[in-house]
């Protein structure tokens, strides 16, 4: 069933539209809703004997490649917030190139859809030999990374066929947010915040269903942009990763040059590129970093992603194109935001006439270094 395209033309399209279901599967049996007798909570069976060790770690390392790295980056702020432990991000190949120091007091989280990526697997062997606790987050039961780690969490997102990862990305973020909730569940001071996140996790599949209704708008937008040469995507805070992941999706499938840039760095170089012809997407959904969004890129041709109802506030002179998305808790907003951009990348690729499911030079799983 899962390896057929059904009513869809491409696997990528099918997998984008499957996300309400894949997220439901990822959370099934793990997100405890609570009730009269029961407290709300998170149950991660694969970690039950190791949560205490992770809580005592001196640092958490998140290690991955490509989209899996971006997913961990998206969830990093909430892991730091709820666990109080510093989180270091590592691209697997770069950690290996540097032979970066790893300690026995570290918890290393390996994020990989396939569970077979050579760089991530080798980084796992490296961290394990240095005595770190190794946690695997994969979508493939029995994969090398699942087998090689001390404990882990399966995504349960279902088989992903399209080379460009979509539903695994959103499930990876959901899983790491659940991990953050589990790590912080002893703290009374964060109880309200955790409850609010759990409520929004519960409602996430239906919110994603709402975002998928933007399909037609994204197709229209893609038709307008199909002949562009280049795209910059700015985001900050929770949505720094959204900017990177949007740019990665656009370049890997539609073969349009795209760069994701953390908005705070715009003034330190990228601003020089901005003129009236440059196409820019700004992710500006409401969260604590919104006030810091800089509109210095005004000169460029702007597409602004904002929270529903904010269009007027974001673009009073109506000179930019707006993508309005539903609001959820800040740490879950990257899931909502990327879905519309996945649709944009998909339609751009179809209009540009490239192979959606098998982009040139790329493989679903890179098993050689």
Q: Is 254 in the site for ligand G6P (CB under 6 A)?
A: no
In whole angstroms, the minimum distance from the beta carbon of 163 to ligand G6P comes to: 5
Residues in contact with ligand G6P, counted by CB under 6 A, come to a total of: 16
Measured between alpha carbons, how far is 252 from 255 in angstroms, rounded to an integer?
Answer: 6
In whole angstroms, the minimum distance from the beta carbon of 365 to ligand G6P comes to: 5
CB neighbourhood size of 317 (10 A): 6
Binding mask 37-66 for ligand G6P (x = CB under 6 A): ----------------------------xx
Q: How many CA atoms lie within 13 A of 77 on its CB side?
A: 16
Q: Is 91 in the site for ligand G6P (CB under 6 A)?
A: no
Q: Which is nearer to ligand G6P, 187 or 367 (CB)?
A: 367
Q: Is 349 in the site for ligand G6P (CB under 6 A)?
A: no
Closest by CA to 359, choosing from 265, 264, 211, 253, is 253
CB neighbourhood size of 9 (10 A): 12
- Contact segment (CB under 6 A) with ligand G6P among 191-199, 231-239, 299-307, 360-368 equals 360-368
Q: Which is nearer to ligand G6P, 171 or 289 (CB)?
A: 171
In whole angstroms, the minimum distance from the beta carbon of 95 to ligand G6P comes to: 14
In whole angstroms, the minimum distance from the beta carbon of 348 to ligand G6P comes to: 17
Q: Which of 68, 285, 289, 340 binds ligand G6P (CB under 6 A)?
A: 68
Binding mask 144-163 for ligand G6P (x = CB under 6 A): -------------------x
In whole angstroms, the minimum distance from the beta carbon of 120 to ligand G6P comes to: 5
Binding mask 111-140 for ligand G6P (x = CB under 6 A): -xxx--x--x--------------------
Length of the chain measured in residues: 369
Q: Which is nearer to ligand G6P, 113 or 329 (CB)?
A: 113
Q: Which is nearer to ligand G6P, 53 or 122 (CB)?
A: 122
- Which regions of the chain does DSSP assign to beta strands (E)? 31-32, 41-42, 59-64, 87-91, 106-112, 133-138, 151-154, 230-235, 257-262, 279-283, 301-307, 321-325
Measured between alpha carbons, how far is 63 from 90 in angstroms, rounded to an integer?
Answer: 5
Would strands 41-42 and 31-32 be described as parallel, antiparallel, or unpaired?
A: antiparallel
Phi-psi region of 158 (alpha: psi -120 to 50; beta: other; left: phi over 0): left
Measured between alpha carbons, how far is 309 from 324 in angstroms, rounded to an integer?
Answer: 7
In whole angstroms, the minimum distance from the beta carbon of 176 to ligand G6P comes to: 13
Would strands 279-283 and 257-262 be described as parallel, antiparallel, or unpaired?
A: unpaired
Give the strand order in the sheet containing 87-91: 87-91, 59-64, 106-112, 133-138, 151-154
Q: Is 307 in the site for ligand G6P (CB under 6 A)?
A: no
Measured between alpha carbons, how far is 11 from 149 in angstroms, rounded to an integer?
Answer: 30
Q: Any idea which residue has 């602004």 for tokens?
A: 304
Residue nearest to ligand G6P (CB): 66
In whole angstroms, the minimum distance from the beta carbon of 119 to ligand G6P comes to: 8
In whole angstroms, the minimum distance from the beta carbon of 349 to ligand G6P comes to: 14
Q: How many CA atoms lie within 13 A of 306 on its CB side?
A: 18
Which residues in this chain contact ligand G6P in the complex, by CB under 6 A?
A: 65-68, 112-114, 117, 120, 163-165, 362, 364-366
């Amino acid at each position: 069933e899962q390896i057929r395209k059904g009513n869809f033309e491409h696997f990528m399209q099918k997998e984008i539209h499957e996300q309400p279901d894949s997220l439901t599967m990822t959370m099934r049996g793990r997100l405890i809703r609570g009730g009269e007798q029961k407290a709300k909570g998170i149950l991660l069976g694969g970690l039950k004997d190791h949560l205490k060790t992770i809580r005592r770690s001196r640092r958490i390392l998140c290690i991955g490649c490509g989209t899996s790295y971006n997913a961990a980056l998206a969830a990093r702020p909430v892991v730091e917030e709820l666990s109080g432990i510093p989180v270091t991000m590592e691209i697997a190949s770069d950690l290996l190139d540097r032979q970066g120091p790893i300690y026995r007091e570290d918890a290393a989280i390996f994020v990989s859809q396939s569970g077979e990526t050579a760089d991530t697997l080798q980084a796992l062997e490296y961290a394990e030999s240095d005595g770190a606790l190794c946690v695997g987050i994969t979508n493939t039961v029995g994969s090398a990374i699942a087998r090689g780690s001390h404990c882990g969490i399966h995504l349960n997102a279902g088989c992903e066929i399209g080379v460009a990862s979509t539903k695994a990305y959103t499930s990876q973020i959901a899983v790491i947010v659940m991990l953050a909730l589990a790590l912080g569940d002893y703290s009374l001071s964060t109880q309200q915040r955790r409850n609010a996140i759990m409520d929004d996790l519960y409602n996430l599949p239906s919110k994603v269903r709402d975002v998928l209704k933007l399909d037609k708008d994204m197709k229209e937008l893609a038709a307008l942009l199909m002949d562009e040469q280049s795209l910059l995507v700015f985001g900050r805070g929770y949505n720094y990763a959204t900017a990177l992941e949007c740019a990665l999706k656009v370049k890997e499938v539609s073969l349009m040059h795209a760069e994701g840039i953390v908005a705070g760095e715009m003034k330190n170089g990228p601003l020089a590129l901005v003129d009236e012809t440059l196409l820019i997407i700004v992710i500006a959904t409401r969260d604590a970093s919104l006030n810091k969004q800089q509109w210095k890129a005004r000169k460029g041709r702007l597409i602004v992603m904002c929270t529903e109802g904010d269009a007027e506030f974001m673009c009073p002179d109506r000179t930019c194109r707006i993508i309005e998305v539903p609001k959820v808790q800040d740490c879950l907003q990257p899931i909502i935001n990327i879905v519309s951009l996945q649709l944009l990348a998909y339609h751009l690729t179809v209009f540009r006439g490239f192979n959606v499911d098998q982009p040139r030079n790329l493989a679903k799983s890179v098993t050689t270094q």
